Amino acid sequence: MNFQWYPGHMTKAKRQMQEDIKLIDLVIELVDARIPLSSRNPDIDELGKNKYRLILMNKADLADRKATEQWSAFFKKKGYYVVSLDARSKNGMKSIADIIMEACKEKMERDRKRGIKNRPVRAMVVGIPNVGKSTFINSYAGKACAKTGNKPGVTKGKQWIRLSKSVELLDTPGILWPKFEDQKVGLRLALIGSIRDEILNTDELAVELIRFLKTQYPGILTERYEVEETQKETELLCGIAENRKCITKGGELDYSKAAALLIDEFRSGKLGKVTLEWPKEQENG
Ligand code: GDP
């Protein structure tokens, strides 16, 4: 599969981020817990060097809990602070506030020693499109938090949201673009819905999803669609079409409709909690 992005668009976003990142102490990077590596852009490591780093594995409600635990350990070993969450829920936001303080304790200590009081930690949210950046900012900042208004030296229009006495968050997230060097990465991004569906071949995507689920989550398709998993992927898709009565006007099985339905049910978590990549794969190359 081939994907096309607009370089101008990307360059502008990157330049903006380079500017914004100068203003902050902590990068809050959102990734999708179902594909924690494929939903990252490694450029952030260069952009965010010398910054405190927190990775939020978002949409953890849709991911395999065991995989999320392993990914959490994987990133912690690399020196990031890590939290997994469902950004739509306000539960857990308190613990994120605590972790931000923990991640920045060095800076606070340094400020204290220098006699600097009440200088808040400044943070910004970054991530690829659709990982939940806006949802997180809304949940985290809530309605109660007043915007602090423009400050001298800050690009006009940029707002800081005061989260607590000691933390301020930039109100606009930084947008990163996913990297498609590897075909597997493109496929995984497509499966979670990070690429516009109009440019995808849904039938092909469904076949890939079936292939993956058959081997990695045996029984999951049988349970939902009463299909025999020993069949070939395309036959399995027919089975799904039959089970869900996906029929064309001409009275034939509608594979495309079944494919779209399968992908939709996967994305919304109806098939169960599924993670598409594991840290073990990484270690094995
Ligand atoms: P952004 O492009 O990174 O700002 O992403 P959005 O905040 O617009 O979120 C994209 C979609 O993901 C929206 O439909 C959200 O409701 C949904 N979403 C965000 N966070 C979560 C989460 O933790 N779990 C689930 N299931 N959906 C989420």
Predicted confidence pLDDT, tens digits, the chain (285 residues): 445 555 677 788 888 889 999 999 999 999 999 999 999 998 899 999 999 999 999 999 999 999 999 999 999 999 999 999 999 998 878 889 889 999 999 998 999 899 988 789 999 999 999 999 999 999 988 754 445 544 444 445 678 998 888 899 998 899 998 887 788 999 999 999 988 766 679 999 999 999 999 999 999 999 999 999 999 999 999 999 999 999 999 999 999 999 999 999 999 999 999 999 999 877 654
> On the CB side of 23, how many CA atoms lie within 13 Å of its CA?
22
Q: How far is the CA of 282 from the centre of ligand 1 (A)?
A: 26
Q: Is the CB of 270 under 6 A from ligand 1?
A: no
What was the pLDDT predicted at 159?
86
ipTM: 0.99
> pTM here?
0.91
* Separation CA 28–CA 74 (nearest Å): 17
Here the tokens at position 268 are 């919304």
Residue nearest to atom 15 of ligand 1 (CA): 132
Q: How far is the CA of 130 from the centre of ligand 1 (A)?
A: 6
Is 60 flagged in the annotation as binding? Answer: yes
CATH numbers and ranges of domains, the chain = 7-175 (3.40.50.300), 201-283 (1.10.1580.10)
Q: Is the CB of 20 under 6 A from ligand 1?
A: no
What was the pLDDT predicted at 180?
78
For 215, residues 6+ apart whose C-beta sits below 8 A from its C-beta are none
Average pLDDT of every residue of the chain = 89
State the CB neighbour count (10 A cutoff) for residue 126. 23
Per DSSP, the residues of the chain read ------HHHHHHHHHHHHHHHTT-SEEEEEEETTSTTTT--THHHHHTTTSEEEEEEE-GGGS-HHHHHHHHHHHHHTT-EEEE--TTS-TTHHHHHHHHHHHTHHHHHHHHHTT--S--EEEEEEESTTSSHHHHHHHHHTTTPPB----TTS-TT--EEE-SSSEEEESSPEE-----SSHHHHHHHHHHT-S-GGGS-HHHHHHHHHHHHHHHSTTHHHHHH---TTS-HHHHHHHHHHHTT-B-TTSSB-HHHHHHHHHHHHHTTTT----S--HHHHHT-
Q: How far is the CA of 137 from the centre of ligand 1 (A)?
A: 11
What was the pLDDT predicted at 2?
46
Q: How far is the CA of 73 from the centre of ligand 1 (A)?
A: 24
